[in-house]
Amino acid sequence: MAAGPTQLTTEVDGQTMKLTNLGKVLYPKTGFTKAEVIDYYHQIAPLLLPHLSDRPLTRKRWPDGTDAAYFFEKNAPRGTPAWVRTVTLPTPGSSTGRDEADFVVADDIQTVVWLANLAALELHVPQWRIGDSDQGKEPRADLIVFDLDPGPGVTIVDCADVALALRELLNHFGLEGWPKTSGNKGMHLYVPIEPAASRATSAFAKLLAEQLAEALPENVTANMTKALRPGKVFIDWSQNNSAKTTLAPYSLRGADEPRVSTPIDWDEVAAASDPAELTFLPHEVLARVEEYGDVLEGLYDDPRPLPS
């Protein structure tokens, strides 16, 4: 097959864009190129955008591929086009010592493609939207997230079992959980709620995690101490802190393979018996969307009040 152009000026949804270094291999162990990254993000953008829109975006970038150095980026980089939306927000406790940052907000396909061209493989967002939070006040979350992280000796299949138990507990409170793979070894469970203070959602998530750990002490821990994790699934409730972020649905992961954080349905969770069944590459995700549509469609349609 003849090599394609290394750069290209094209129009994306009405916006002229210059795409560069298209032949660069960003996943060396599989040969997955920057052009393929951009193509995936361009195709998946309509399903990705509802989870990015109006949320300040933290990017994890691998400009020289996943076997080289990466960096997290909150501030809009130098040269950000004028048509990319940015918003200045406080960053308390920032490791850079800055009190605020100019965050990129991805509200359109052009911005998603621009980010892919920057080798921003991972897209991380908080559980709150800018429109639900008054600047200078505590953010109000519209999601609760549980990060199910398998310790040594357990797999995503064990996470699936814990997710089913957590679903039952959520139903007891009149809440619904929506699962996805983390794109790594674990799972994430989203719970849509009416906007509530992040401090309250974090406390509620911690309470449920601790209740499940108490009910299933051989299988689950809600304690962050790594020495307690072997043989168990750690339910990380801390990502509900307003300063924390979670990998967005349909985002790529920076790893040996271009794995995707993939929404799955509860039948798939219940049937899982092999980690390979819950590992998805870009072409597989696009095929799933073609066949099944968006598994997370409706996530934000029926938010419930946070239980008091």
pLDDT surpassing 90 at residue 231: yes
In a domain? residue 252 = yes
Give the end of a domain, one of 125, 149, 183.
125
Q: What pLDDT shows up at residue 236?
A: 97
* Averaged confidence pLDDT in the chain: 94
If asked whether residues 143 and 121 sit together in one domain, one would say: no
Range in 21-25, 66-70, 87-91, 101-105 the model is least confident about: 87-91
pLDDT surpassing 90 at residue 190: yes
Region 61-69: mean pLDDT is 97
Report the phi/psi class of residue 13: left, alpha or beta, with left for phi > 0 and alpha for psi in -120 to 50.
Answer: left
If asked whether residues 210 and 258 sit together in one domain, one would say: yes
What confidence tens digit (pLDDT) does each residue in 233-291 have? 999 999 999 999 999 999 999 999 999 999 999 999 999 999 999 999 999 999 999 99
In a domain? residue 131 = no
Q: Give the Cα separation of 191 and 237 in Å (integer).
A: 12
Burial of 214 (0-12, 13-18, 19+ CB in 10 A): exposed
Cβ atoms 122, 52 nearer than 8 A? no
Q: What pLDDT shows up at residue 135?
A: 55
Q: How confident is the model at residue 1 (pLDDT cuts 50, 70, 90)?
A: very low
Cβ atoms 202, 237 nearer than 8 A? yes
If asked whether residues 67 and 105 sit together in one domain, one would say: yes
In a domain? residue 109 = yes
- Kindly give, in sequence order, each residue whose CB lies less than 8 Å from that of residue 287, ignoring residues fewer than 6 positions away: none
Range of the domain at 176: 138-307
Q: How confident is the model at residue 2 (pLDDT cuts 50, 70, 90)?
A: very low
If asked whether residues 170 and 103 sit together in one domain, one would say: no
The CA-atom distances, in angstroms, between 211 and each of 30, 96, 208, 231 are 42, 36, 5, 18
In a domain? residue 152 = yes
Single-letter residue type at 275: P
pTM: 0.95
Give the end of a domain, one of 68, 90, 125.
125
What confidence tens digit (pLDDT) does each residue in 144-187 have? 999 999 999 999 999 999 999 999 999 999 999 999 999 999 99
If asked whether residues 226 and 112 sit together in one domain, one would say: no
Single-letter residue type at 269: V
Region 66-81: mean pLDDT is 96
In a domain? residue 210 = yes
Give the end of a domain, one of 68, 101, 125.
125
Measured CA angle at 251 (ends 293, 196), to 5 deg: 85
Could you tell me the CATH number of the domain that includes residue 14? 3.90.920.10
Per the structure, the count of domains in the chain is: 2
What confidence tens digit (pLDDT) does each residue in 91-117 have? 866 666 678 999 999 999 999 999 999
Could you tell me the CATH number of the domain that includes residue 204? 3.30.70.3300
If asked whether residues 76 and 168 sit together in one domain, one would say: no
If asked whether residues 117 and 51 sit together in one domain, one would say: yes
Region 185-211: mean pLDDT is 97
In a domain? residue 44 = yes
Q: Give the Cα separation of 58 and 102 in Å (integer).
A: 11
Region 284-299: mean pLDDT is 97
C-alpha distance across the termini of the chain, in Å: 61
pLDDT surpassing 90 at residue 16: yes
In a domain? residue 273 = yes
- Kindly give, in sequence order, each residue whose CB lies less than 8 Å from that of residue 20, ignoring residues fewer than 6 positions away: 6, 7, 117
In a domain? residue 159 = yes
If asked whether residues 73 and 148 sit together in one domain, one would say: no
What confidence tens digit (pLDDT) does each residue in 118-129 have? 999 999 999 999
C-alpha atoms less than 13 angstroms from C-alpha of 93 in its C-beta half-sphere: 4
The CA-atom distances, in angstroms, between 83 and each of 33, 43, 106, 119, 290 are 26, 21, 11, 19, 31
Q: How confident is the model at residue 4 (pLDDT cuts 50, 70, 90)?
A: low
Strands 233-236 and 220-221: parallel
- Kindly give, in sequence order, each residue whose CB lies less than 8 Å from that of residue 63, ignoring residues fewer than 6 positions away: 118, 119
If asked whether residues 107 and 218 sit together in one domain, one would say: no
If asked whether residues 81 and 214 sit together in one domain, one would say: no
